[in-house]
Chain A
Amino acid sequence: MTTAILEARKLTKSYGDRVVVDHLDLSCRRGTVLGLLGPNGAGKTTTLRMLYGFVPPDEGTIYYDGKRFSEHRENAKRMIGVSTQDDSLDYDFTVAQNLFIYASYFRPRVEDLAGRVAELLDRFDLAPYADASPHVLSGGYVRRLLIARSIVHRPSVLFLDEPTTGLDPSARLDVWELIDGMRAEGLAIVLTTHYMDEAERLSDELLVIHEGRNLVHGEPHHVIDSVLGDHVIIVPRAEPAREAIASWLRARGAEQVATVLGELRVPVSKEDLAALTARFGDAVWQVRPPNLDDLFIALARRNGRSG
């Protein structure tokens, strides 16, 4: 296993009395995608802002390539690329000029910048729009340009903050391909997303944050197993024993009994499933493997949010 190019230890940030990020550890290796997940208000954005250098942590240390960010800030910022969630393109310039002007904010200067811009325009299918204003681009192409811009200076670590929000399914898949390609080239990518399928399919590792703390970290299947267990049962709205099943599961210690559009969704262990089958053999329910959607819903309920 290669060493992490990005590593953060015990990151902590408070605003007033509220601890937003609480002794969070994370790391990301070259050629991997780290999915940063958590419900709204979990502390993802604040974590990212500390990693970009927008805000300093109250406690903890960030390392890029083994060097402290606080002591080697200029070099570290040369190593990172950021694709923000909001559209921060420079609409005073054309598509190609956006890449040129963005590169001018880095030193040492980008070698063979004209060649690099041409390469990115081609690779991100932006060449036909090179001389056009970004205003003419569709949502998917705006996102392509944001990502292309964030790697114009050949960074080693790339932050993608909700890169597919608002895109249609086809555009999402295109962005997935681009992310996969950048990972293959050795970029360390930190990805935040609200799309669980995206996180599950793109991430080599997941870090789930809950109330500013590291809830669970590891490969996607490990994360799901450790939070949710072996199975999820879904009891339809029409099942007469639905409430009885819910009460019975709660009595056995199930904490994550969720109702979605009238359906009961409960993560259960193998043992609970066997006991449930014995107790409610006549009832109708479905069993499926848990996924990140279940995890997200469970965390959101724990956090007192609707979803």
Chain B
Amino acid sequence: MSALGSLTAVVNWRSWAVFRRNAMVFLRNWRTAVIPPAMEPVIFFVAFGVGFGGFIEDLNYRGTMINYATYVAPGLIAYTGFGTPYYEALYSAYVRMFYQKTWDGILATQVELPSVVWGEILWGAVRGMVNISVVSLVIAIFDLLGLVDVKLGFLLVLPFLGFIAGCAFASFALIFTAIVPAIDHMNYPVFLIGWPVSLVSNTFFPIEPQSPALQALMQVNPVYQLAECARGLLVLGHPGSHLLGLVLSTALFLVPCTLLSVRLTRRRVLGD
């Protein structure tokens, strides 16, 4: 299949059939699948935003003074929007591919490999939406309690922004899923990429690099763009240039990562 064919498979019924399969499994186990993972950013929010934030002075965010909890709330949206699809496409997809051989069964049908990859990407992104929704609900409650000060209406937009970026994060993760020899090797993409990117993308603290190269690197980082987009919406009521930045950086990751994932998964699963 051509590169264009691999990319346009996203609109194909086959990709949505794979997505539907994963969604059906999720709906059966939704409590287990949602509550524990979504608690992690909530605990981070309480510990860092409310607890640790009590020791930090207010910050000036693009001319508006905000407390640290308000600063970190959109960061946790980005943290969740990155981590959920990234880990879903690393661990859950690996289990389906390697241990359960679910993909082998699917590929023996009319579903082609790019659709399996797209099904996993779309599912990872939707999982991100679900967890962002939970975190958004918690932020709304904290806003009503007066612990943060955000523009509540924009919380409804964030899951959709998370979906866009989540496609890029899931496609990136699937590269590792296709190449790690065993599940233990997931430690590399988790600890050498996942954690550092989660922490240094304006999620928990602002970074203003002086080097033009580092500045450029930040601009192409979808986690940074998601964090700043969410922060702009929740604090200022507009995303500024970060909405465009989010879309462009997502495209910059999604296209090559999807093509590479398809290629590497083809070699891994089909031996070609």
User: With contacts A86-B101, A90-B102, A91-B100 known, is A105 near B270, CB below 8 A?
Assistant: no
Let me know if B105 and A84 touch, CB within 8 A.
yes
* In the assembled complex, B25 has its CB within 8 A of some CB on chain A: yes
* In the assembled complex, A194 has its CB within 8 A of some CB on chain B: no
Total A residues in contact with B, Cβ cutoff 8 Å = 27
* In the assembled complex, A125 has its CB within 8 A of some CB on chain B: no
Total B residues in contact with A, Cβ cutoff 8 Å = 22
Scan residues 83-139 of chain A and give those whose CB is less than 8 A from a CB of chain B. 84, 86-93, 101-102, 104-107
Scan residues 226-272 of chain B and give those whose CB is less than 8 A from a CB of chain A. 270-272
* In the assembled complex, A55 has its CB within 8 A of some CB on chain B: yes
Let me know if B24 and A101 touch, CB within 8 A.
yes
Residues of A within 8 A of B271 (CB): 49, 54-55
Minimum Cβ distance to chain A for residue B100 (Å): 6
* In the assembled complex, B127 has its CB within 8 A of some CB on chain A: no
| Main DSSP-derived SS at the B contact region | helix
Minimum Cβ distance to chain B for residue A149 (Å): 8
Minimum Cβ distance to chain A for residue B61 (Å): 44
Let me know if B110 and A56 touch, CB within 8 A.
no
Minimum Cβ distance to chain A for residue B172 (Å): 25
Minimum Cβ distance to chain B for residue A100 (Å): 10
Binds A, one of B14-22, B39-47, B137-145, B174-182: B14-22
**Nearest CB in chain B to that of A146: its residue:** B105
Residues of B within 8 A of A84 (CB): 104-105, 108
* In the assembled complex, A292 has its CB within 8 A of some CB on chain B: no
Let me know if A52 and B108 touch, CB within 8 A.
yes
**Nearest CB in chain B to that of A161: its residue:** B108
Minimum Cβ distance to chain A for residue B34 (Å): 17
* In the assembled complex, A67 has its CB within 8 A of some CB on chain B: no
From the candidates A55, A88, A92, A150, name the one contacting B104 in the complex (CB within 8 A): A88
Residues of B within 8 A of A (CB): 13-14, 17, 20-21, 24-25, 28, 100-102, 104-111, 270-272
Pull 9 A–B residue pairs with CB atoms less than 8 Å apart, ordered by A: A52-B108, A82-B109, A86-B104, A88-B101, A90-B105, A101-B21, A102-B105, A106-B110, A149-B105
